[in-house]
Amino acid sequence: MIYLEEKYHVIEGRYIDSVLLMQISREIEKMQGVSKASCMVATAENISFLEMAGFHPPSGVSGNSIIIAVEAESGQKCEEAINGAIRLIDTGMVQHKTSYTLDDLPDLITPDDFPVVFISTPGEYVYDVANKSLDSGANVHIFSSNVPIDQELRLKTKGASKGLFVMGPDCGTSIINGKGLGFANALEVKGDIGIIGSSGTGIQELSVLMDRNGLGISYAIGVGSNDLKESINGIMSKQALNFLKERCSAIALVCKKPDPSVEKTLLESMGDIPSVFISLGRDKQYSTGNTYVTGNIDDAVSHLMSKIGKGHKVQQEAFPKVKEPGKERKLLRGFFVGGSLCYQAQAILHGMGVHVYSNAPADNQYKVKKDFDNLDVCIDTGSEEYVAGKPHPMIDPVSRNSFLVKESGRTDVRVILFDVILGYGSAEDPIAGLDQMKSGPVLVASICGTEKDSQGYQSIRRRLEDRGVVVFRSAARAAEYAGTMMR
Amino acid sequence: MKEEKKLKVFNVGTSWFLKPLEDQGIENYNLDWSPPAKIDKDISSILKKLGRK
């Protein structure tokens, strides 16, 4: 019998970003005699995550603190690990230290630059950083969420008056002249198609499927999920549209639930350039002028292929035959890292008569929080209630993947649906731990990625298929297949 | 078509996204940043009484 010791250390009032804390956790977990370790911002959510992981953290720890939790073979080993973590926090792991600050921006920008300040601070600090960046003549890409809407409006109004972009907030992806910012894929085809996107994984899925079909992208301007709401009135979408019209041969706009007045203005502004307007989940397609309006990314790519492609059609992926699960298996359980892919899956499933609940619902009557044990669900594990104080699951897929493993062991689950997103910024191994999945339910996944992505599309696909997962390139097609399995 | 300018990225916040920039050969700078110190409510009220913010 091995007795393990636990120890905790709390650092009050210190800010360390959650990604760095994740990296430090991994480092100290490698220390001899340490069985598990975690460094986290001590939010209530993270404290309960520690409890779920078998720790017994002290009560009353402030949410502004960092908690280091260690389980090891002895108290001394715990102390060594905690001291190691403190050392890494203080010195060792802060890479890329520079002597520059925001005050140096004006001196670092030259007239030949397309300068972008990439902001991933907590939301409450974004306004000051972004405002100062705009004053210095830089565009901003705001990765952070939780930026108040009035601040977003002020920043975008100011940006537009200066001809600068305010990408985001809550913007995961942009592509500037063929180079990716944030989460983006290593695309293989050079081209001059432009994307405007209010959804990060929507941009990634669209760009990867276009790339796969020989359509090259030069720009993707991420405008953030609020831009197509009346309160922001598409300020940055309109600016992006004008910018792209001067540079691109075709434009694709991808969004979720645009407000009708903003959608109308944008459609009127598209002009003659060949374009697609993808409002995820829309169930009707139509054309207006040279713009094709649809609710499905695959359909949009097919349309672009017919308009500007090299004549070949998009090959729809076939549905493989698998052994039908028993009748006692009734539930569909979807766990996504990509919010837009979760949204699109819900819309497709609703359209097939499979009414899935979600924490980020495509249809508000199917809203659910955390009590969804016996429901058909598509859960966005990248939404705020799952990531507060933790890295996004595209960076650290452990918690999402542990959901998948747990659900696969249930005897009442019929289909498990999930997404895997490769590319810059995504975890080195986005399917870590999934070799523990059981094969009772039908396991269905989509992979958004290219062979040039560092994780390697084929290698990830092979590993999933070896576990019995049915794999699709298209998230829409994966959702359709999952829906078929529910009939 | 417009002549394109050179992308230059300044990072404020997590350093996670710097490696992808380097992998793509994008000129980048990590700007030092930490949250402004929070002033305790009691100290804040004393400062206000003294006529300072």
Q: For position B48, what pLDDT does the model report? A: 67
Lowest mean pLDDT among A280-289, A334-343, B34-43: B34-43
Distance in angstroms (rounded) separating the CA atoms of residues A66 and A396:
18
CA angle A29, A30, A34 (to 5 degrees): 55
Contact call for residues A265 and A288 (beta carbons, < 8 A): no
- pLDDT at residue A97 greater than cutoff 60: no
Q: What is the mean pLDDT of residues A459-478?
A: 96
Residue A138 is nearest to which of B5, B10, B24, comparing CB atoms?
B10
Angle between helix axes A200-212 and A297-308 (nearest 10 degrees) is 40
**Domain range A331-485, CATH architecture:** 3-Layer(aba) Sandwich (3.40)
DSSP per-residue string spanning A78-104: HHHHHHHHHHIIIIIT--S--S--GGG
pLDDT tens profile B6-51:
999 999 988 888 989 999 999 999 998 877 765 555 666 766 666 6
A1 band by pLDDT with thresholds 50, 70 and 90: low
- Strand-pairing partners, residue A118, are A141, B11
Q: Is position B36 within any domain?
A: yes
Q: What is the mean pLDDT of residues A119-128?
A: 90
Phi and psi angles of residue A53, each rounded to the nearest 5 degrees, phi first: -80, 5
Contact call for residues A253 and A197 (beta carbons, < 8 A): yes
Classify burial at B34, counting beta carbons within 10 Å of its beta carbon; exposed 0-12, middle 13-18, buried 19 or more: exposed
Q: Which residues contact A373 (CB under 8 A, 6 or more apart)?
A: none
A283 band by pLDDT with thresholds 50, 70 and 90: confident
Judged by CB atoms closer than 8 Å, whether chains meet at A119 and B13 is answered as: yes
pLDDT tens profile A378-410:
999 998 788 766 788 999 998 899 999 999 999
Give the range of the structural domain holding residue B44, as residue numbers without chain letter: 8-49
Q: Is position B43 within any domain?
A: yes
Judged by CB atoms closer than 8 Å, whether chains meet at A180 and B18 is answered as: no
**Domain count of chain B?**
1
Lowest mean pLDDT among A27-36, A216-225, A266-275, A413-422: A27-36
User: What is the layout of strands, in order, in the sheet containing A331-336?
Assistant: A377-380, A331-336, A413-421, A442-448, A470-472
pLDDT tens profile A171-205:
899 999 999 999 999 999 999 999 999 878 999 99
Classify burial at A311, counting beta carbons within 10 Å of its beta carbon; exposed 0-12, middle 13-18, buried 19 or more: exposed
B10/A contact by beta carbon, under 8 A: yes
Q: Is position B32 within any domain?
A: yes
Q: For position A4, what pLDDT does the model report? A: 86
Judged by CB atoms closer than 8 Å, whether chains meet at A118 and B9 is answered as: yes
CB hemisphere CA count around A17 (13 angstroms): 23
Best interface-test mutation with B: which of A117, A139, A174 has the largest number of B CBs within 10 A? A117
Cα–Cα distances (Å) from A263 to A225, A235, A253, A271, A449, in that order, read: 13, 12, 11, 14, 29
Which CATH code of 3.40.930.10, 3.40.50.261, 3.40.30.10, 3.90.1150.10 fits the domain covering A102-308? 3.40.50.261
Q: Which helix (H) or strand (E) holds A404?
A: helix A398-408
DSSP per-residue string spanning A120-173: -S-GGGHHHHHHHHHHTT-EEEE------HHHHHHHHHHHHHHT--EE-SS--E
- The answer to whether domain A5-95 and domain A331-485 are alike in fold is no
Contact call for residues A270 and A289 (beta carbons, < 8 A): yes
- pLDDT at residue A96 greater than cutoff 60: no
What is the residue-averaged pLDDT of chain A?
91
Q: For position B53, what pLDDT does the model report? A: 45
- pLDDT at residue A44 greater than cutoff 60: yes
Judged by CB atoms closer than 8 Å, whether chains meet at A98 and B32 is answered as: yes
Q: Is position B1 within any domain?
A: no
Contact call for residues A405 and A437 (beta carbons, < 8 A): yes
User: Span A5-95: which CATH code?
Assistant: 3.30.70
How many CB atoms neighbour CB A30 within 10 A? 10
Domains of chain A, residue spans: 5-95, 102-308, 331-485
User: What is the layout of strands, in order, in the sheet containing A5-11?
Assistant: A5-11, A66-72, A34-41
Contact call for residues A421 and A395 (beta carbons, < 8 A): no
pLDDT tens profile A140-158:
999 988 899 999 999 999 9
Nearest-Å Rg of the Cα atoms of chain A is 23
